[in-house]
A and B are shown apart, each in its own frame.
Chain A
Amino acid sequence: MNKLARFDWYSLLLYVVLVGIGLVNIYSALYNANDNSIALSYMQKQFISFGLGIALILIIQFFDTKFFERYASIVYLFSVLSLLGLWVFGTEVSGAQSWYSIGGFSLQPSEFAKVAVALALAKHLGDFNTQIDRKRDYIGAFVLLGIPGILTLLQPDAGTALVLFGFFFVLHAEGLPSFFLLGLVSFFVLFILTLFVGVYWALVTVVLSGCLYVALQSKRKRKKAIFPTLVAVLFFGGFTYSSSYIFEEIFEQRHRDRFNILLGKEVDAQGIGYNINQSQIAIGSGRFSGKGFLEGTQTKGGFVPEQQTDYIYTTVGEEWGFVGTFVVLVLFIALILRIVRLAYKQKTTFARVFCLGFACTLFIHVAINLGMVVGLVPTIGIPLPLMSYGGSSLLAFSIFLGIYLRITYQRIA
C-alpha cells in the first residue's frame, strides 16, 4: 500500500470541514451590519488558532510513535503542574480561575489536560503488568483521572471534570468491572428520580427494587442474597437521602435552577431560563431549511448569550435549519465512530486506549454541549469541539487529532 493512503485522510477531512463550519457560524454569530470590527478581530484570532492547529498536526506527524508512550508520564506531570499553577498565576474569567494570560493570548490548561490524561491512561493500561480488572490497577487509573478531575473541579470548571468522568467508558471498554458503570448509572438515575418524585418515593423505590431482587432469586440463592441486598439498599437509601441534601444544601441556587428548568419545574424565561429559552427559540425558528446565512434574527439581535462559543450550535440551527443541525450532528458521529473503528484495529493497547480516549472526550463534549443547547441537559459550560470560538479548545483537539493520526498511520492495517 502506498504511504499516503495509509494516512487517515477521512478524519482529517472531517476535522477541516467541522472547523470550517465553525468559522462560518462564528462569523455569523458576531456579525454586526453597523460595526463589523469585532467579528473580524475574532475571526482573525480563530483563523490563527486554526493555522496553529494545522501546523501542530503537521509537526506531530514527524514525531516517532514511541515518543508519545515514552513521554506520556512527563506530559501528564507537566499538565498537572500547569493546573496547579493556576492557583498562583491564573487569571479569573467569569468566576473561574482557569486561564493563563500570555501577552494578548490566553490559554486554558484544562483543555490540554484532556490530552495528557488520555496519554497517561493509555500508558498505564498499555503496561504489561497492568490488568484493569485488578483492584490495584483500576485504583491506579482512578488516581490518574482523579488528580486533574479534582483540580479542575476546584477551579471551578465542572465541564472539564465531567469530561474526565467520560474516561470511565474507556476503562469499561478495557475491562473495568461493570459494577462501576452500573453503580454510576444507578447513582445518576437515583439522583434524577429523587429530584423528580422527592426523597420518600425514591426511598420506597429503592426498598421495593431490593425486595424484588431478592424475590427473583432462586430458592437456593435467596438466603445468600439477602445480606448483600440489604447492604445495597442501605447504601442507595443513604445516597438518595444525601442527594436531596446535596441538592438543597451544597448546590448553589443557580445549579438548582438549571436542574429545575430542565425538569420543567420552573420556567422563568427572563431570568435563569433566559439562555435555554432563547437558544431553543433560535434553533426552533430555523425550521427545516433555516433563515439563511447572516439572516438569523435571533443571532443578529444577540439574544443568545455566548453564541460564538458554547452556543454556536444555535447559529447553525437558526440560519441553516434542520438541514444544518442534522449535517453537523452526523459529521460528529461519523468522526467519533471512525476513531472508535480505527481504535480497535490498533495492535498495541496504548494506541487503542488513546484513540478510545479521544473518541470519548469528543463524545462527552458533543453530547453535553448539544444536549444543553437543545434543553436536554442542564447548563454546563462546555464548548462544542472544533466549532466553538476559542483557541485553547481548538488547539487541544488539534493536538489530539495529530497524535491520533500519527499513531494510526503507524498501525493501520
Chain B
Amino acid sequence: MRTRFFPILVGFCGIVMLLRLFSLQILSDEYGDLSLKNSVLKQYVYPERGYMFDRNGKLLVSNQPMYDLMVVPKNLRPFDTLDLCTMLRLTKQELNVKIAKAKRYSMRAPSVLLNQISKQDYAALQEKMWKFPGMYIQRKSVRAYQTDVASNILGYISEVNYFDMETNPYYKRGELIGRQGIEKTYEEILRGKKGVTYLQRDKFSRIIGPYKEQKLDTLPTPAQDITLSIDIDLQEYGTKLLANKRGGILAIEPSTGEILMSVSTPTYAPNLLVGRERSENFNLLKQDTLNRYLFDRSLQGQYPPGSPFKVLNALVALEEGVITPKATFTCYSGHFYARNQFMECKCKPGSKNNLDRGIHNSCNTYFSNVYRRIIDKDNNAPEGINTWHDHLRSFGLGNYLGYDHPVGQSGYVPNANFYNLWYPNQRWRGATTVSNAIGQGEILMTPIQLANVAATIANRGFYYTPHFVKGIQGDFIAPQYKTKQYTTISDEHFIPVVEGMANVVKKGTARIAAIRGIEVCGKTGTIENFTKIKGVRTQLTDHSMFIAFAPKDDPKIAIAVIVENGYWGGRWAAPIASLVIEKYLKGEVKRTWLEKRMINGSLEAEYAKVTSNEPFEINE
C-alpha cells in the first residue's frame, strides 16, 4: 500500500490536470475571443463617401474634414480651463459635465469631449494642444454641401443607432449611415464597403505588426459617385419662386422619367445638418409643426387634385366611349346634380361646352356629366367606379410610384368597396360621388403623381417611373427606370385632351402661363380645403394648383405646382410653373415683372390666420 500511494497520487493529479486542460481548451470557447480582444486590433478602413452631382455635372455633395476633441480621463492633468472654454465657446460648467460624462464611460478608453469642431476652431486649438494633456484631436470626414437648396432630395447622414446595428450587422458603433433622401436610398453605393486590417497588439496596446501576415485583411471597396437627374439651377430657381409660400414644385423630363426638380417650401439649407450645431438645428426643424421643414410637400403632400383631375376624367370617358370630343353639355353657371344639390360653375349661364371648352374653361357642369356617364355607364355604379379606378391606377394614382426616394405617400383613389361601406345596400350612383368629377371628392394625389400625370399626357399614354438618379458612376441606372409604363388609355384619346390643355394657356384659365415661342399645355386647379381649428372643421383659402408640360410637341418638361392657400390656380401656381418652364427651356426669364411678383409675394399673412385665434375671411 505504501509503495502504491505515490504512483496513484501521480496518476490522480495527472487525471485532474487533464480534465482541467480539457475544460479550458476544448469545452470552453470564451478564451479564443478573449485572446483576440486582447491581442488583435481590428481596424476598419473606410472608403470616402461618394459624391453627388447634378444633371449638368455640378458638384452638390462632397466631404470635408471635421475634428473631434477626444479625452482619456486617466491621462488628464490640471489645465487652463478658461483657455479651452473660450476657444471652444463653452462654459466651465458645460466642460465639467462633459468630462464627468467621459469619466463615467471609461477612465482609460477615449471618449469624445466635443465633436465636430470646425476647421477654423481646429486651427486655433491645434496650436495649443500641448497644454491639454489627456486630450487629442481626431479627424473624421463629414458631408459638405455645395448648395443651399435640395435638402429634401439629398437627405442627410447620421451616426448609426442601436436599431441600425441590430438590423444590419455591417454597421458598428460610431459609423455613419444615410438617414434620409438619396443618402438613404443609395446608401450602399455612396458608402462603398469598409476594409479590415488586423494588427497584432502587445500588452501595452502597442501595434507590433500585422496579424497572420495580413492574410485576413480585406481592402475597402470604393464608394461610387452619383449623378442626380435634378438640375440644381432649376431647383434653386424654384425654391426662390416659392419663397414665403408653402408648397411644392415637381418637374419631370417626360422622355426619360428623370426628376428635374423637387422643391418643397419652407425648406432649410442642407449644411444646417452638418457640424456641431446639427442636433440643435435638427430639433428646431423637427419641432416646427406649422412649417414642417422636414415634410417634403412635393413627395409627401397629399392634396385633392382639383381641376387638373378633370383631364383624367376626360381621358377615361373617351376610352370608355361615353363621350366624344364634340359632345356638348350646357352649363347654367352650374347645375343640379340631385334634388336641391347645386354645383356652381364659373361659366356664363347657357354656355354649351364641348371637351375643348370644358377643359380650358374648367367647366364643372361638363365634367360632372362626363363623370356620371362613366360611373353610370351600365347603370351599375360599383362596376363603373371600379373601371374608372383601374384606369386611374394605370397612371400611378393611389399607389407609390416606385421612385428612388425613401419618403412618399400613396394618395388615394376610391373604389366600389369604399362607397359600399359608406352607403350600404348600393344606394349610391355617379351623382352621389360627383365631387370626384372635379377632383374634390375622396381622391388624394401628391405633386409627384400630378407631375407624372402631366408627363404621361405629354408622352400621350405612357410614363417612365420617375427617378432622381441619372447615373451611378457613369450612366448606369436600374432597369426599372428604363421601362415604359403604359396606361390603359389609347393614344388617340390624348390628342383632344392635349388640345384642350393647350387652349387653357392660350385662351382659358391660365393665360398668364403663356410663354412667347413655346406652346405650353396646362391645367389649373383651385382646391377647396379644410382644417380643424380647435376641433371645428374650418375651410381655408383654396390651394393654387397647376400642372403643365411644354413644348406641346416633343415635350421636354412636365411640371406640377401647388401653393398652399394660394387661392386660384392662375394666381400663383400657373405663373410659377410657367417661369420654371421658361427658365428651363430658354435658359433665362424675360418676364422679370412676373418673376419679381412671384419671388416677393408672401402668403405668411394667410398662414397666420389659422393660428391667430380670431375669426377670419377666406379667399379674399
Contact = CB atoms under 8 A, between A and B. Distances in A.
Interface of A: 32-34, 169-170, 172-175, 278, 280-288, 295, 297-298, 300-303, 317-318, 321-322, 325-326, 329, 333, 336-337, 340, 344, 356, 359-360, 363, 367, 370-371, 374-376
Given A284-B34, A371-B17, A376-B20, A336 B10 contact: yes
A344 B5 CA distance: 13
Interface in B1-30: 2-3, 5-7, 9-11, 13-14, 16-18, 20-22, 24-26, 28-30
B25 A297 contact: no
A83 B418 CA distance: 104
A360 B24 contact: no
Contacts of B39: 297-298, 300-301, 303
A371 B14 CA distance: 10
B3 A284 contact: no
Given A287-B25, A376-B16, A169 B6 contact: yes
B10 A172 contact: no
A297 B38 CA distance: 8
A317 B25 contact: yes
Contacts of A287: 25-26, 29, 32
Given A281-B31, A301-B38, A329-B14, A175 B2 contact: yes
Closest 6 CB pairs of A and B: A284-B31, A285-B35, A297-B39, A301-B39, A322-B25, A301-B202
Contacts of B211: 297
B208 interface: yes
Nearest to B209: A33
Given A298-B39, A300-B39, A300-B208, 10 more contacts: A169-B5, A280-B31, A282-B35, A301-B38, A317-B24, A344-B3, A363-B10, A370-B17, A374-B17, A376-B17
B24 to A, nearest CB: 5
Contacts of A325: 21, 25
Contacts of A376: 16-17, 20
A134 B7 CA distance: 25
Identify the interface centre among A175, A344, A374: most chain B CB within 10 Å of its CB.
A374
Contacts of B203: 301-303
Contacts of A286: 25
Contact of B201 (A169, A301, A367): A301
B82 interface: no
Contact of B17 (A174, A329, A344): A329
Contacts of A363: 6, 9-10, 13
A173 B208 contact: no
Contacts of B36: 285, 297
Contacts of A284: 24-25, 28, 30-32, 34-35
B212 interface: yes
Contacts of B115: none
B473 interface: no
B547 interface: no
B418 to A, nearest CB: 65
A301 B203 CA distance: 6
Contacts of B2: 172-175
B463 to A, nearest CB: 60
B26 A322 contact: yes
Given A371-B17, A374-B24, A297 B200 contact: yes
Contacts of A282: 35
B142 interface: no
Identify the interface centre among B25, B28, B29: most chain A CB within 10 Å of its CB.
B25
A288 B26 contact: yes
A303 B34 CA distance: 12
B5 A173 contact: yes
Contacts of B40: 297
Given A370-B17, A376-B20, A288 B25 contact: yes
Contacts of A281: 31, 34-35, 38
A280 B24 CA distance: 8
A374 B23 CA distance: 10
A400 B478 CA distance: 81
A131 B174 CA distance: 78
29 contacts: A172-B5, A173-B5, A173-B6, A281-B35, A284-B30, A285-B32, A285-B35, A285-B36, A287-B26, A288-B26, A297-B40, A298-B38, A300-B39, A301-B39, A302-B203, A303-B38, A303-B39, A329-B21, A333-B10, A333-B11, A336-B10, A337-B7, A337-B10, A356-B6, A363-B9, A363-B13, A374-B24, A376-B16, A376-B20
A34 B208 contact: yes
A340 B36 CA distance: 43
A283 B21 CA distance: 8
A173 B1 CA distance: 9
Contacts, number: 124
A336 B10 CA distance: 8
A290 to B, nearest CB: 9
A375 B20 CA distance: 9
Interface string B22-63: 101110111110111011100000000000000000000000
A169 B9 contact: yes
A336 B6 CA distance: 10
A374 B22 CA distance: 11
Given A281-B35, A298-B35, A340 B7 contact: yes
Interface string B193-219: 000000011110000110110000000
Contacts of A336: 10
B499 to A, nearest CB: 79
Nearest to B27: A284
A287 B2 CA distance: 39
Contacts of B20: 374-376
B257 to A, nearest CB: 55
Identify the interface centre among B7, B21, B32, B208: most chain A CB within 10 Å of its CB.
B21
A282 B203 CA distance: 13
A172 B3 CA distance: 9
B6 A300 contact: no
Contacts of B14: 329, 333
Contacts of B5: 169, 172-173
A377 to B, nearest CB: 11
A297 B209 contact: no
A184 B443 CA distance: 96
Contacts of B17: 329, 367, 370-371, 374, 376
A376 B23 CA distance: 12
A367 B34 contact: no
Contact of A283 (B9, B31, B38): B31
Contacts of B38: 278, 281, 297-298, 301, 303
Contacts of B21: 283, 317, 322, 325-326, 329, 374
A303 B9 CA distance: 33
A163 B360 CA distance: 111
A303 B11 CA distance: 32
A359 B6 contact: yes
Contacts of B13: 363, 367
A367 B28 CA distance: 22
Contacts of A174: 2
A283 B208 contact: no
Interface string B348-386: 000000000000000000000000000000000000000
Nearest to A374: B20
Contacts of A359: 6
Contacts of B209: 33-34
A285 B11 contact: no
Interface in B289-311: none
Contacts of B28: 284
Contact of A321 (B3, B25, B29, B212): B25
B3 A173 contact: yes
A295 B14 CA distance: 28
Interface in B121-155: none
